[in-house]
Structure 1
Amino acid sequence: MKKENNKVFYISLLLSIMVVFWGIIASENFQSIASSIMKFLTEYFGWAYLLSMLIFVIFALFLAFSRFGKIKLGPDNSTPEYSTLSWFAMLFGAGMGIGLVFWGVAEPLAHFTNPPYGTAGSPEAANFAMKSVFMHWGFHPWANYSILGLALAYFQFRKNKPALVSSVFIPIIGEERAKGSIGKLIDIFAIFATVGGVATSLGLGTLQINSGLNFLFNIPKNYKVQLIIILIVTVIYILTAVSGVEKGIKLISDINLYVAFGLLLLCILIGPKIQIINSLVNGLGEYVQNFIQDSLKISSYGDNGWLGSWRIFYWAWWIAWAPFVGTFIARISKGRTIKEFIMGVIVAPSLASFVWFSVFGSMGLNLSNKLSIDVLKSIAAEPDTALFVVLSNYKFGAIISIVAVFLLCTFFITSANSATFVLGMLSSNGNLNPSNKRKILWGIVQALFAVALLLSGGLGALQTASIAVAFPFIFVMILACVSIIKALKEEKSIVVKTKGSNVKNTIS
């Protein structure tokens, strides 16, 4: 590799290490500054998060059903490298990660026991809770991933450009500038956003794995145990990343999907079945009916505390994950059409998330029949233990909790090994198969970043850090939309099937 191409690697690595040491050496200062940034962004730019995420949904669906939908992400004769099931398993494991397990019970309970309006514990609060989790884990995050993922896949497989975020901007700034200092700055930021966003999820996973082991086996909840958890899982995810997509990442992702489905099925069997079905049906109705309104709902004069703590946090979290998840999804999506890509990345995972929250949310809300609102509020206040506390109130809860801990570990690994592979790509001039040495190094850096964030204040610091890292990437994503449209309009022709025959329709 040419020396000049190593600038992105060295600068991004140095920047990440500096933040790691900042979090470890001056944890209180780190927490204070992160909190100040979060307050500023929430108060003055909450509207930007809401508006941009809605734009991503509309733009992605427009592309899927437009005349560009039949364009292949690769040569016209290319075919998908992975089966649809394995493709879904890899993108789902990378895109949602530990969050589904961490918040599956805790978030619906939190909205149910402390809604921004209305009476806590009421049927209205329950409906609001399910509608909110559908919004937070539905079309918006996946559309956000699809924008960058589609652009990257299009340029690297159809236009034979490097697998770098900077390649997306070639139609806007030109190839020379994309390879120059502007492009390098974009790639450095993408790497830093990836490290920060993934470290957030790794920290959440570590806290919940520790809480599960404490609840099940009385293992202490402290930094020492958390460091051991991070060490063990780090070794596993680095090994799977080093073994490559086909042998390591795909295998773990397939296992993860089967375990997640098994856990879901077990909870349906022991859970309140009618409530689960009703929550799913009613939640979908509320979600669709209020989609635009909820996407843009922000108070001009009242308190936006709930909005900042939940929706804006999520939107920032998903945007922080976009460089990593988008790059990884692009890497595994060669040969699929634009429509197939967008529908597979947005609709299928969203439906899976709706079912997931209907099951686990209903199991938590159903406990209102025998537990007081104050008890439920205390359960929601400890999201890392909420799942295990709720499961303990059902038959075979202890056994299912063990399955849940195992799933946490596999989600942890699928997110981290995908990110490790992507970081290797982004810091190796877009090499689709980066060196093992580079993947190992980034795997270690991610683990250190997660440790630093945990030591600097736990979940609060993780939340604020993710928002701070994500904000500038809003504008990168919007420019990516402009770039992909410009590139697609320059396509010479597109094959459209008409009455059983292939007819070329010129779109340039």
Structure 2
Amino acid sequence: MLDRLQRRLGLQTIPAVFFTSAGTAFLFVVLAIPFQHEVSRSFGLLTAWVAGNLGWFYILSVSALLVFLLGLAVSRYGEIRLGADDSRPDYSNLTWFTMLFAAGIGTILMFWGVAEPISHFGDPPFDGVVADSAGAARDAMTISLYHFGLHTWTIFAMPGLAIGYFAYRHDLPMRISSLFYPILGERAFGPLGWAVDIIAVLGTLLGVATSLGLGTLQLSSGLTYLFGIPATGTIWVLLIVLISGIAATSVALGLDKGVRRLSQLNILLAMLLLGFVLVAGPTVFIAKGMVQSIGDYLDALPWLSFWTESFNGTDWQRRWTLFYWAWTISWAPYVGIFIARISRGRTIREFVFGVLFAPTAFTLIWFGVFGLSAIHVEMSGQIGLAEQVRADPSVAIFAFLQALPWTELASLLSVIIIVIFFTTSSDSASLVIDMLTRREDQPSLVRQRIFWAAAQGVIAATLLLAGGLDALQNVITSLGLPFCVLLVFMAVSLFRALRADYRGYTVNDLVKGRAFPEVEASPSSRQESTYVSEAADRN
């Protein structure tokens, strides 16, 4: 039946994955619109249960995956390439980094670069720390860097590395289900594999919709500051339509013409805004505070990585750390596939160090400039930022820019950067979802990519109208859990495959139990995969 429907609509998909994902998203929207309060309350209860009973699993999983990735990078497997042994990277390091930044964390930095440090400065999470004190400032910066540093990029790097390895070295389809071939065997190309891809599609839709919703709130605040336009549901919907329309145009142009050019433009604009704040703000204070903040972050990283708020009796982690981890995990399939697409030819060591440390270094600089500047504004009494951010985090960057010269120009530049960041996130996600829902031998149809871009906008509007920021946080914290489990199994599958590869065997040999003879083969005797055409036929 689904095959006939696909032919009638003129689509090129895996029917079970495409129609199940689209149908589930449609059902969510249909139920959420008339039953907004009931849906919001249900997800609130589910989030409370997940945080109370399984929050520790989020914390432990992400920290363990960070250790796992670093271990791979420095191990004997670090020299294995994402591709043939003689392959080389498709993109230069600079281009690679700009695309990583724009598609991964750029949207997050614009929203939380001021909002998070100033929130923790005015409302410290640790007992005995006085608000607006030097201790509160140090903790605020440390926690912000923890949330957006190595751990965030671990969540993106894990699926990116696994996808790049299996796709380019073993020619498996670039889908999440392919990563489980060493565990599931042939079942990875049937209903079990389809279920994995459906989870990835839905997670990506909701994760990017959450980002789009946060961006809409922030843009609405910017328009209020610049032009006095009130923040209403109608304005939110119009902004989502605008961003989705731009994203649809970009996604129709493809990766190189659309995402690549927008990414390069946006990194230049972001650097311009960063340089302006550094020069116009308290430059010496920023430099001194940045050095100290990096030291504080590295010093606190070991215990923060395993801190579960066991003895506090509060729900702070649910509102902050667990939300961030679940949010990042939910859109990790899309970011992972996107990173994999631009990382062919790199060694595992280059990939891990590049994806973990280059964006983290930029994050340290970004929070150092914006976060420390905002704290300085609050401490000097120029503007009551903490009070405004406590009421509405989306106003943070625009309220902060009022303390600097050329406020209107800087705010307008911020609005442009936000629009482009969220556009690149949306169109990158649309490209990836299209890949997850079709076979590799099928063409990528523009109308399918546009459909997914529109779906993200509709879900974002639904979540915003159903409860705003609280609804976005509750839905993501609840639904990020299934893919968190998949991330753990993904690491197991990748390690099994790397062991077989290093000993000179294919993943197909691993599945059939031929990969680990008593006498280890020489690494130079690695074979080309022989199961590729069979896998393509099955898909």
The residue number in structure 2 matching 1:497 is none
In 1, Cα distance between the equivalents of 2:279 and 2:212?
A: 30
Q: How many residues align?
A: 499
Deviation of the 1:189 alpha carbon:
0.6
Counterpart residue number, 1:354? 364
Given that residues 163 and 432 in structure 1 are in contact (C-alpha distance below 8 angstroms), is that contact kept between their aligned partners in structure 2?
A: no
Deviation per residue, 1:130-173 (Å, 9 max, x gap)? 00000000000101111111111111111011111000000011
In 1: Cα distance, 2:220 partner to 2:122 partner = 25
How far apart are 1:379 and its partner, in Å? 3.2
Residue correspondence of structure 1 range 64-143 to structure 2 within 5 A: 64-116=73-125, 117=127, 118-143=129-154
The 1-side partners of 2:73 and 2:526 are apart by 16
Deviations 1:77-128 (CA, angstroms, capped at 9, x unpaired): 2222222222111121111142111111111010000002210000000000
**1:260 match:** 270
| Residue identity matched to 2:92 | S
Q: 1:396 aligns with which of 382, 406, 412?
A: 406
1:364 aligned to 374, 389, 393, which one? 374
Counterpart-to-counterpart distance in 2, 1:373 and 1:402: 20
Aligned-partner Cα distance in 2 for 1:35–1:409? 29
2:173 is the counterpart of 1:169: no
Paired position in structure 2 for 1:458: 468
The 8 Å contact of residues 309 and 317 in structure 2, kept in 1 or not, is answered as no
Of 17, 21, 26, the residue aligned with 1:17 is: 26
Deviation, structure 1 residue 439: 0.2
Contact 2:208 2:456 in 1 (8 A): yes
Shift of 1:363: 1.5
- Picking from 154, 161, 177, the partner of 1:150 is 161
Q: Is the 1:121–1:373 Cα contact (8 Å) retained in structure 2?
A: no
| Separation (CA, whole Å) in 1 of partners of 2:441 and 2:362 | 32
Q: TM-score, normalised by structure 1?
A: 0.95
Decide whether the 8 Å contact of 1:93 with 1:415 is kept in 2: yes
1:193 aligns with 2:203: yes
Q: Provide the aligned C-alpha RMSD in A.
A: 1.9
**Superposition deviation, residue 383 in structure 1:** 1.2
Is the contact between residue 489 and residue 507 of structure 1 (CA under 8 Å) also seen in structure 2? Answer: no
> Normalised by the size of structure 2, how large is the TM-score?
0.89
- Give CA deviations for 1:19-52 in whole Å, capped at 9, x if unaligned: 1222222111111011011111111111101100
For residues 85 and 375 of structure 1, the distance between their equivalents in structure 2, rounded to whole angstroms, comes to 35
Deviating more after overlay: 2-11 vs 414-423: 2-11
Equivalent residue letter for 1:148: P
The whole-number CA distance in structure 2 between the counterparts of 1:218 and 1:125 is 34
> Offset of 1:373 from its aligned partner?
9.5
The one-letter amino acid paired with 1:222 is T
Paired AA for residue 356 in structure 1? W
Structure 1 counterpart of 2:464, one-letter code: L
Distance 1:504 1:478 in 2: 27
Given that residues 385 and 396 in structure 2 are in contact (C-alpha distance below 8 angstroms), is that contact kept between their aligned partners in structure 1? Answer: no
Q: By how many angstroms is 1:243 displaced?
A: 0.7
Counterpart of 2:511 in structure 1 is none
The alignment partner of 2:67 has SS state of helix
Q: Secondary structure at the match of 1:457?
A: helix
Q: Which residue of 1 aligns with 2:536?
A: none
Q: Which position in structure 2 is the counterpart of 1:48? A: 57
> What is the deviation of 1:5?
2.5
1:61 aligns with 2:74: no
Alignment deviations for residues 412-452 of structure 1 (CA, whole Å, 9 cap, x no partner): 11110100100110011356962212101111111101010
- Alpha-carbon distance in 1 for matches of 2:320, 2:502: 44
Counterpart residue identity of residue 382, structure 1: D
The alignment status of 1:247 with 2:263, answered yes or no, reads no
Whether contact under 8 Å (1:163, 1:429) holds in the other structure is: no
For 1:267, the aligned partner's letter is V
Distance 2:239 2:57 in 1: 37
Aligned to 2:44: 35
**1:164 maps to amino acid:** R
Q: How far, CA to CA, are the matches of 1:253 and 1:84 in structure 2?
A: 14
Q: Distance in 2 between matches of 1:332 and 1:172?
A: 26
What is the SS of the residue equivalent to 1:41?
helix
Task: Return the alpha-carbon distance in structure 2 between the equivalents of residues 417 and 297 of structure 1.
Answer: 36
CA contact (8 A) 1:144 1:322 kept: yes
Answer with 353-362 or 389-398: which moved more.
389-398
Match of 1:472, SS state, is: helix
Structure-2 residue corresponding to 1:182: 192
CA distance change for structure 1 residues 179 and 482 in 2, over 3 Å: closer, same or farther? same
SS in structure 2 of the partner of residue 491 of structure 1: helix
Deviation of the 1:505 alpha carbon: 5.7
Post-superposition offset of 1:129: 0.1
- Whether 1:479 aligns to 2:505 is no
Which moves more between the two structures, 366-375 or 400-409? 366-375
Q: Deviations over 1:169-214 (max 9, x none)?
A: 000110x200111101000010000000000000000111111011
**Structure 1: gaps (5+ residues):** 495-502
Match of 1:215?
225
1:278 maps to what in 2? 288
Residue 323 in 1 paired to residue 333 in 2?
Answer: yes
Helix, strand or coil at the partner of 2:501 = coil
Task: Return the alpha-carbon distance in structure 2 between the equivalents of residues 421 and 13 of structure 1.
Answer: 15
Query: How far has the Cα of 1:286 moved from its partner?
Result: 1.1
CA contact (8 A) 2:378 2:385 kept: no
